[in-house]
Amino acid sequence: MGFLWRWRVTLMATVVGVVAAVMRFATLGYPQALVFDEVFYARGAYSLITIGYEGEWGGENQDFAQGDFSQLTSEGDYVVHPNIGKLMIGWGMKMFGPTPYGWRFMAALVGVATVLMIAFIARQLLRSTLWGGVAGLFLALDGEHIVLSRTALLDIFLTFFVVAAFGLLVVDRHVTSRKIYADAARQRTALGLGATSLIPGGGPNTGIRWWRLASIVVFGLAVSVKWNGLYFAAAFLVLSVIWDWYDRNKAGYVKWFTGGFVRAIPAFLTTVVVIPLVYLASWIPWFRADKAWGRHWAEDNPGEGLTWLPDSLNSLVHYHEQMWTFHQGLDEPHNYESNPWGWPLQLRPTAFYFEDVTDVDCGAERCVSAIHAIGHPLLWWVGAAVLIYAIWRILRHRDMLALTVTAGYLAAWLPWLPLAHRTIFTFYTVTMAPFLVLMLVWAMQRIAKPERLGGRWWKPGVIMCVVYVGLVLIVAGFFTPIWIGEPIPYQYWRLHMWLPSWV
């Protein structure tokens, strides 16, 4: 049995990993251009690894893509995101040079890693290697995740750290719940209680939870890519407390709420210390660079700001005030801005790249290369319906698994709804994609193995799931050219514009 288990897990990881890698690394160096916001992040990453901080650039944006790096100046550039994502982009350039492949390599690598992590997370949550493989396959074939994995933007790194932190919490829950149930069994034996009798107290002290501590550190890295990593940290760390309450209650402890709450206090205190420390450490390049933007603001403006802080920290706080003001005022019209209410249906996806191609014969009079960050329609549209069902399960049946698989999706989406007036984009939904596929496979498992059959396979449900997976594969093949920028006939590109708002 052990050999069979290892064989199935190895096969799952291999298939999922190969599909994810092919979709992300094939023709990764094309196009030979700065795609969408790579103009900020690829050049910023090059500056970080070259002069140690982000300097201003002169000349034309695309000079960089053609190998002209002479336009980098020593003047500090005003940037509005932390460093970790750009440093990771820079690691790719250190390995493969400042080329399109080099500045996209790390995005592709963490994209593949995220797919594999989701496969194993789904496998743990659903207790099934098969459904873990389906989850990994779905994320491997999702357009949002593919496009962002092939582009040097920050959001794929945020997604990677968020999924990694969530995975660590899943492991923590597995380890901790085993301790809780084992302690409950010992308590019942010691007190001479029956198998279903309630147990006095709030449950065991589970000690230092190293997996949760590691998760908090990784959440700090997520925040060090983009600030909205805080939304995920808050949502998932609260979820871990809810898991604790649930397990203590299910184990039969009378004071399950108090027991879980008391042990949540150290986790909260650890969080409010560790995440800021990790975030502060991510600014080390800025502290070390005399010419970085705003580095000596406090010295140049004596008596201003938080004067009780050291000058370097006072300058950093002022810099963050500027960053916050920028983000709050980001409301200028943009062709591809989108209302977050439409994100679950991908109503206004972001066009990253669109150029006529003259040096490739695509078999038509007009050939184009287009990259659209469009989520796989069959995944996202069905996922919106599954979300409604999952919320009903949570409210009506207090379904803990439904809450678990929807928490990340909601954490990635709900905080943006009050900001609908801002200039925001659908490609931010790449952070929703991993949790979208968790919701989908959770629902598919319930269809294929309905509760009323006691976990046995239901043939009509199995057929529906197999047909759905087949359709997902077919549609993914159809959309792949506009996810990777493959030169295609213009009319073929038009066939992909299923909604007027996609054009």
pLDDT tens by residue, 378-404: 999 999 999 999 999 999 999 999 999
Q: Report whether 53 contacts 148 (CB < 8 A).
A: no
Distance of CA 456 to CAs 267, 390, 399, 447, 466, Å? 39, 21, 20, 11, 16
Nearest by Cα to 440 from 375, 380, 373, 376: 380
Token pair, residue 227, equals 């600030």
User: For the purposes of burial, counting CB atoms within 10 Å of the CB of 254, is it exposed (0-12), middle (13-18) or buried (19 or more)?
Assistant: middle
Instruction: Give CA separation, 461 vs 449, 453, 474, in Å.
Output: 7, 12, 20
- CA-based angle 467:468:473, to the nearest 5? 95
**Which residues of the chain, if any, have pLDDT below 50?**
1
Task: Report pLDDT for 2.
Answer: 55
Confidence (pLDDT) at 332: 76
Q: What share of the chain is helix, strand, coil (3-state, %, to 5)?
A: 65, 5, 30
In angstroms, the CA 381 to CA 374 distance is 12
Q: Are 411 and 232 in contact (CB under 8 A)?
A: yes
Q: Look at residue 4 in the predicted model and tell me its pLDDT.
A: 57
The identity of residue 83, as a single letter, is N
Q: How far apart are CA 120 and CA 131, in angstroms?
A: 10
377-397 helix and 400-413 helix, angle to the nearest 10 degrees: 130
Predicted pLDDT at 328 = 82
Contact 205, 263 (CB under 8 A): yes
Q: What is the pTM for the complete model shown?
A: 0.95
Task: Tell me phi and psi for residue 475, to 5 degrees.
Answer: -65, -35
Secondary structure of residue 186 in the 3-state scheme: helix
Spatial distance between the Cα atoms of 64 and 47, rounded to a whole number of angstroms: 11
**pLDDT score for 451:** 87
How many helices (H) and strands (E) in the chain?
A: 18, 5
367 DSSP β-pair partners: 357, 489
Residue 354 backbone dihedrals phi, psi, to 5 degrees: -155, 115
3 state SS of 180: helix
Q: DSSP strand E in 299-399: where?
A: 350-357, 367-373
The single-letter code of the amino acid at 449 is K
Rounded CA gap, 189 and 491, in Å? 73
How far from each other are the two terminal CA atoms of the chain, in whole angstroms?
A: 53
pLDDT digits (tens, 9 = 90+) for 127-147: 999 999 999 999 999 999 999
pLDDT of residue 323: 92
pLDDT recorded at residue 3? 55
Q: Are strands 350-357 and 72-76 parallel, antiparallel or unpaired?
A: unpaired
Q: Which residues on neighbouring strands pair with residue 253, listed in sequence order?
A: 199
